[in-house]
């Protein structure tokens, strides 16, 4: 049952991601405040999607890392390290995307307003990654993903 839910979830995320990427390929110049408002909303939504995609990548990487036996296994640390590395990558990659691909399409008089939007969108990607990652870690506390935020026993 869980695998069907996750398969449907992955298909849904893939569909949303392809829609966002196809709409992002059309860089439109932003000249008016109304255009900037529309771009701001798109930036926030894409930030959340980037966070979701990166947490899915973190889950895939965590499941690929094999369990190590013995008294002092190192695999939980590897999973946790990859989780935090991907969190940093999600924030920085989305900020750099906005800085180098989106910002040049904005007129100079609206540039400063978009800088705040860019930071908020990156923070949304970061918050989405952390919240979804924490929830997944607690939902699957006995599995490999449970190593992201281990419970103290």
**What whole-number distance in Å separates Cα of residue 48 and Cα of residue 58?**
15
pTM over 0.85: no
Query: Cα torsion at 89, 95, 96, 102 (round to 10°)?
Result: 140
Whether residue 76 is predicted with pLDDT greater than 90 in this model: the reply is: no
**The pLDDT of residue 27:** 54
pLDDT digits (tens, 9 = 90+) for 1-55: 556 655 665 565 555 555 555 555 555 577 788 888 888 999 999 999 999 999 9
């Amino acid at each position: 049952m869980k695998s069907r839910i996750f398969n449907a979830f992955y298909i849904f995320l893939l569909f949303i991601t392809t829609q966002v990427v196809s709409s992002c390929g059309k860089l439109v110049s932003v000249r008016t405040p109304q255009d900037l408002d529309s771009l701001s909303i798109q930036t926030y939504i894409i930030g959340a999607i980037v966070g979701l995609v990166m947490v899915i990548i973190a889950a895939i990487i965590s499941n690929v890392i094999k369990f190590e036996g013995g008294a002092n296994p190192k695999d939980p640390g590897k999973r946790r390290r990859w989780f935090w590395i991907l969190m940093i990558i999600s924030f920085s990659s989305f900020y750099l995307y906005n800085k180098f691909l989106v910002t040049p399409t904005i007129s100079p008089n609206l540039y400063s307003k978009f800088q705040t939007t860019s930071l908020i969108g990156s923070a949304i990607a970061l918050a989405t990654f952390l919240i979804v990652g924490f929830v997944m870690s607690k939902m699957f506390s006995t599995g490999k993903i449970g190593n992201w935020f281990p419970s103290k026993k």
